[in-house]
C-alpha cells in the first residue's frame, strides 16, 4: 500500500501538504492541489481512515460482514465483536450479505475503505479473490472463524478447531454407550461443516466404529432443516439412539422431530450439537453441545484487525497471520444420556 | 435545512461552483474554495449524501439503530429493512446500541450524515432530543414502530396499533372461556409495552372482567424474564388458566416455566404472545400470538425515509409524517385452548 510520503514524493510536495489537501485544510494553491490529487489517484492511495476520521471528529468504524443475520449465532457474534471494538473506540457496522456473494462484493466495494477502515468476515459466503482485492486496495480483512487451523486460507484469520469439536461430540456419545448414531451436517459435503463431521468420523474410527454413510444427512443449517433431516433419519432407522448435528440449530430441530415421532429426549434419543448459542441453553431439555469460544474469537478478530490497520502507519507490511482460539469444550446438558433399555412410545 | 443555493448565495458563487468544491472537482480558485467552505460551515450545510455518494461511485447507505441485536426480533426486522432498502440500491448498516443511550448518541453523531444519509430507529432507547438534533443537522430520522398511533411523537414514524394487538390477545383468551389470566409485561410500567397491556385491559373491561393487578408482572423482554415472571405468577396462583405476555420471548419463557411446574400447555395453561417471531412458529407447542406487520412496517419505514431524504433536493421541507401499518392479526396455534376441566399434575 502506498504511503503518504510516497504520494508527497510523486507530487513534489511535503507530506503536510498532502495531508492538508486530503483534509480540505490549510491554504493550498489550486495547481498544487490538483497535482496531489493526481498522485493520490495514480498510486491508488487510501488515506489512513482512522487518522482522517479522528481529524474530522468521527470515530473509526469496522465492518462486520455476516452471511445471515437471521441465524441467531450471528447476532451473538456481532454483539461480542461490538463489545471488543468499543474498547478501542471503534463502531461496528453490520453488513448482512444474505448468503449472496454479489451483495457481498458490492458491500466490499462500497463500504471497505470508504465507510470502514477494516473488514471482519464471518462466513459471509464471499469470494476469496474479492477479499484479497479489498486487502490489496489497502483495507485489511480478517476471517473470523476459519474452520481448518491446519490449512491456512492465505488471508489473516482467527481459526477454531471445529474438527476437534466434532470429535468431542462423537466421543461423548460413544462414552454414553451409543452405537447407532445418526448425523446431520448443516452444509454441503464440501461446505464449512465438513471438518466438524470429519471430527465426528475420527471419534468413530478411533473407537473401532464406522460412521454409517446411510445415517448421514446434509441439511440447511436451520431448525427446520434439522427437523426434516431428523425425521428422515428416524423414520428410516427407528433404532437410532443418538443424533449428532454439526450445529445447534439443526440439533434443536432434531429434538422437535423426535418429539413429534414420539421419542423422548434423552430417554429414547440423545441429541448433541456444536456452538452453544443462547437457544441451546433455553431449549427443553437444554441441549448438550460442544461450545466454541465465540467471545474469544471475536476479541482475537478485532485485535488482529486493529493490528493490520495500524501496521501500514508504522511502515510494516500486512501479512497472512492466523490466530487459533482455545479449544472447543463439551457442555453436557439434558439432551444426552447413557443408552438404557429403550422405552420408546409407538409413534 | 440550508440548501445548496443558499450556500451559493452566501458565498457569492453559483451552485455549480459549490458542488465542484464539495466534490473536489473542476477548477476552483483557492480563495473561492475557502469562501464556499466558510459558507458551508456557517450555514451548517450537509451536502446531499446520496448525490455525493453516486458521484463518488459509492452506493447510498441507511443506518438502522436497534436496541439489542441479541433479541431475535431485531435481526428479523433488519432483514426486512435490508430487503426494502436494496430495492432502491441502498445498503443498510446496522448499529446496535445495546440499550445504551450514550452509545446511541455517539452513533447518531458519528454515523448520521457522515456514513449514512438517513436513520431508521427501532426501539433503540434514544433520547428524542438527540433524534431531533440529528434531524435538524439535515439527516432525516424515522421511528420504525411507534407504539401509539393516536399520540404522534413529533418525529416522522411508522406506527403500529399495539394496543389493538393486546386487545386481540385478551379477546382470544376470553372467547376460549379463560377468567383467571396472568399478564407478563416486557417493559417498565411506563415503557414501550404499556399500550399492549392497556389493550389487554380494554378487552377485560369490555367483557365486564377486571385485569387483576396481582396477576401482572413486569419482566425483562427475554425468555428468561418471562420464565421467572411466569413461575412467580403460577406459584402465587396455581389456578391461573392462561398467561398473556406482551411479547413472544417472555411468552416462550412462560411455556418453559409451565412445563417445569408440571402444567401442560395448552391442556392446563394457555399462553399467548405478541409479534410472531420465527421462534413462535418453531416452539413446542407452536405459540399462539398476535402477529404485527413487521415486513410492512419495514417497507413503510424505508419508503418514508427515502421520501424525507429526497425532499430537500426538491426544495420541500421535511415534516413529522406518520404512517400507520395495517392492523395486527391473531394467529392461533397450539399454545391456547378452551378452558376445560383441568387435569393438572402435581408439581
Are the beta carbons of A265 and A122 closer than 8 angstroms?
no
Q: How confident is the model at residue B97 (pLDDT cuts 50, 70, 90)?
A: confident
pLDDT of amino acid A315: 63
Search chain A and give the residue with CA nearest B21. A24
Q: What is the pLDDT of residues A85-100, one digit of tens each?
A: 988 778 888 888 887 8
pLDDT greater than 60 at residue A58: no
pLDDT greater than 60 at residue B58: no
Are the beta carbons of A234 and A344 closer than 8 angstroms?
no
- Higher pLDDT residue, B310 or A343? B310
Portion of chain B with pLDDT greater than 70, in percent:
87
Cβ-defined contact of A103 to B110 (cutoff 8 Å): no
- Among A69, A97, A112, pick the best mutation site for testing chain B contact (most B Cβ within 10 A): A69
Q: What is the pLDDT of residues B146-161, one digit of tens each?
A: 999 999 998 999 999 9
Q: How confident is the model at residue B344 (pLDDT cuts 50, 70, 90)?
A: very low
Cβ-defined contact of A70 to B82 (cutoff 8 Å): no
- Helix then strand then coil, % of chain B, to nearest 5: 45, 15, 40
Are the beta carbons of A120 and A302 closer than 8 angstroms?
yes
Q: What is the pLDDT of residues B186-212, one digit of tens each?
A: 998 888 999 999 999 999 999 888 766
pLDDT greater than 50 at residue A347: no
Q: What span, in angstroms and rounded, lies between the C-alpha atoms of A313 and A119?
A: 17
pLDDT of amino acid A343: 40
The position carrying cell 401509539 is B148
The position carrying cell 466438524 is A196
Give me the residue from B30, B110, B115 closest to A28, CB to CB.
Answer: B30
pLDDT greater than 60 at residue B49: no
Q: How confident is the model at residue A127 (pLDDT cuts 50, 70, 90)?
A: confident
Are the beta carbons of A62 and A92 closer than 8 angstroms?
yes
Q: What span, in angstroms and rounded, lies between the C-alpha atoms of B336 and B267?
A: 8
Q: What span, in angstroms and rounded, lies between the C-alpha atoms of A127 and A293?
A: 25
The position carrying cell 383467571 is B180
Portion of chain A with pLDDT greater than 70, in percent:
87
Search chain A and give the residue with CA nearest B116. A115
- Higher pLDDT residue, A89 or B229? B229
**Alpha-helical segments (H) within chain A:** 4-11, 15-22, 30-43, 49-55, 73-87, 101-111, 128-136, 162-175, 194-206, 223-236, 248-260, 278-282, 294-310
C-alpha pair distances (Å), B179 with each of A86, B151, B175, B235, B258: 49, 31, 10, 17, 18
Cβ-defined contact of A98 to B82 (cutoff 8 Å): yes
Q: What is the pLDDT of residues B69-85, one digit of tens each?
A: 888 999 999 999 988 99
What does the pLDDT average to over A246-268?
96
pLDDT of amino acid B36: 85
Give me the residue from B29, B76, B96 closest to A70, CB to CB.
Answer: B76
Give the angle subtended at the CA of B275 by the CAs of B271 and B277, to the nearest 5°: 95
ipTM over 0.90: no
pLDDT greater than 80 at residue A214: no
Give me the residue from B28, B75, B252 closest to A69, CB to CB.
Answer: B75
Kindly report which listed range (A49-53, B137-141, B195-199) carries the lowest average pLDDT score. A49-53
List, in order of start, the domains of chain B with CATH numbers.
Answer: 4-45 (1.10.260.40), 55-139+294-326 (3.40.50.2300), 162-292 (3.40.50.2300)
Instruction: Using alpha carbons, select from B180, B164, B66 the residue that is nearest to residue B124.
Output: B66
Amino acid at each position: 500500500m502506498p504511503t503518504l510520503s510516497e504520494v508527497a514524493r510523486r507530487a513534489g510536495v511535503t507530506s503536510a501538504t498532502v495531508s492538508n489537501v486530503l483534509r480540505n485544510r490549510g491554504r493550498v494553491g489550486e495547481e498544487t492541489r490538483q497535482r496531489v490529487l493526481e498522485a493520490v489517484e495514480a498510486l491508488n492511495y487510501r488515506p489512513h481512515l482512522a487518522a482522517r476520521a479522528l481529524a474530522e471528529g468521527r470515530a473509526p468504524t469496522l465492518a462486520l460482514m455476516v452471511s445471515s443475520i437471521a441465524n441467531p449465532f450471528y447476532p451473538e457474534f456481532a454483539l461480542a465483536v461490538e463489545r471488543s471494538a468499543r474498547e478501542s473506540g471503534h463502531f461496528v457496522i453490520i453488513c448482512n450479505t444474505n448468503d449472496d456473494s454479489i451483495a457481498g462484493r458490492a458491500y466490499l466495494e462500497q463500504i471497505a475503505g470508504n465507510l470502514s477502515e477494516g473488514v471482519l468476515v464471518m462466513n459471509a459466503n464471499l469470494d476469496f479473490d474479492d477479499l484479497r482485492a479489498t486487502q490489496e486496495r489497502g483495507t485489511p480483512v480478517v476471517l473470523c472463524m476459519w474452520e481448518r487451523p491446519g490449512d491456512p486460507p492465505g488471508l489473516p484469520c482467527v481459526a477454531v478447531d471445529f474438527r476437534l469439536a466434532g470429535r468431542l461430540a462423537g466421543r461423548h456419545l460413544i462414552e454414553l454407550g451409543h452405537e447407532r448414531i445418526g448425523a446431520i451436517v448443516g452444509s454441503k459435503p464440501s461446505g464449512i461443516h465438513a471438518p466438524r463431521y470429519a471430527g465426528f468420523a475420527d471419534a468413530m474410527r478411533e473407537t473401532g466404529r464406522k460412521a454409517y454413510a446411510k445415517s448421514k444427512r446434509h441439511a440447511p443449517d436451520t431448525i427446520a432443516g434439522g427437523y426434516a433431516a431428523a425425521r428422515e433419519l428416524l423414520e428410516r432407522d427407528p433404532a437410532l439412539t443418538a443424533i449428532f448435528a454439526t450445529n445447534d440449530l439443526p440439533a434443536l430441530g432434531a429434538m422437535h422431530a423426535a418429539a413429534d415421532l414420539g421419542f423422548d429426549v434423552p430417554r429414547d434419543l440423545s441429541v448433541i450439537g456444536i456452538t452453544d448459542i443462547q437457544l441451546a441453553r433455553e431449549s427443553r431439555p437444554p441441549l448438550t453441545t460442544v461450545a466454541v469460544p465465540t467471545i474469544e474469537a471475536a476479541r482475537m478478530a478485532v485485535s488482529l484487525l486493529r493490528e493490520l490497520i495500524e501496521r501500514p502507519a508504522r511502515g510494516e507490511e500486512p501479512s497472512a497471520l492466523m490466530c487459533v482460539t482455545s479449544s472447543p469444550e463439551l457442555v453436557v446438558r439434558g439432551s444426552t444420556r447413557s443408552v438404557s433399555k429403550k422405552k420408546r412410545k409407538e409413534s
